[in-house]
Amino acid sequence: MSNVIFTYNQEQALSAGQSGFINESGAYIFTITEAKCMTSSGGAKSIEFSVEADDGRKANYLNVYTEKKDKTPNQFGINMINAIMGCTSVNSLTMVMKDINTHLVPELIGKRVGFVLQKTLKSKQDGSDTYNFDIRIPFIAQTNQTLQEKIDGKPAETIAKIASTLKDKDERKQGNNHQPQHSGGYPGDDQFFNQYDNI
C-alpha cells in the first residue's frame, strides 16, 4: 500500500522558480499582513504595508506618507489612507505598540484590499539599479470597484482602465547601465526613507 505525498497542482507548478515577490506594475488583490507606523530619519511619518497575494507573492515597504518632515500633513497620503479604510470598511485606526521599535495599526491587518501598484526604477548610491512600488489607488477586493464607483453605484471599470495603461516610472540617474540588481525584492529601509526626507 502506498501513501500519496503530493497531488499535482498546476498553479503551483507554474510558479516554480519564480520570485516570491511582486515584481511588475499592475492591479493586485492582497491580504494586509502588516501595517505599521514608521518615521523616516528625516522625520516624515508613514504607514508601511506588507501584503500577500492569494498566490503567495508578497510586496513589502509600501509606504503611504501622512506627515512631512516639517510636521505638516501630507494630504495625498491622508487621502490614500482614508481610501484604504473605505475599501476595507474600517472606520478608525489606532496605533498599538508591539515592541519598543514597532507600532502596528491592527485594524488593517488581515483585511483584503486591492492595490494598483506602480513600479519605480531608481538608482542606488553605488550606481546600480533598484526599484520600489507605490500604491496608485486602492480598490475593493470583492468587487474590483474603486471607492467612488461603490458610492456612486457604478460598475468596476476604473481599475481595469488604469492597469491597461500603467507603465513603470523611471527615476534612474542617467549614465547607469540599467541592469536591475535587487536583492530580497526591496531596498533597505535607510536608503528607502532617505528619498522621502525632502517631503
pLDDT, tens digit (0-9, with 9 covering 90-100), for 136-182: 999 999 999 999 999 999 999 999 999 999 999 999 887 655 554 44
Q: State mean pLDDT over 16-24.
A: 79
Please provide residue 30's backbone torsions phi and psi, each rounded to the nearest 5 degrees.
-125, 160
**DSSP string for 42-110:** TS-EEEEEEEEETTS-EEEEEEEEEE-TTS-B-HHHHHHHHHHHHHHT------EEEETTEEE-TTTTT
Residue 183 per-residue DSSP state: G
Q: Is 163 a member of any domain?
A: no
What's the pLDDT score for residue 183?
Answer: 39
Residue 80: phi and psi, rounded to 5, are -65, -45
> What is the mean pLDDT of the segment spanning 7-18?
71
Q: What is the pLDDT of residues 52-105, one digit of tens each?
A: 999 999 999 999 999 999 999 999 999 999 999 999 999 999 999 999 989 999
Res 2: pLDDT: 74
Residue 86 structural domain: 25-158+174-192
Asked, for residue 1, whether it belongs to a domain, the answer is no
C-alpha cell at 128: 546600480
- Torsion angle, CA of 181/172/187/117, rounded to 10 degrees? -100
Residue 34 forms part of a structural domain: yes
Specify if 97 maps to a domain. yes
Give me the pLDDT at residue 145, please. Answer: 98
Q: Is residue 143 part of a domain?
A: yes
Number of domains the chain contains:
1
Element containing residue 113 per DSSP (H, E): strand 112-123
For residue 178, being part of any structural domain is answered with yes
Q: pTM for the whole thing?
A: 0.78
| Burial of 132 from C-beta contacts in 10 A (0-12 / 13-18 / 19+) | buried
Q: Is residue 58 assigned to a domain?
A: yes
Closest CA to 70 of 36, 42, 47: 42
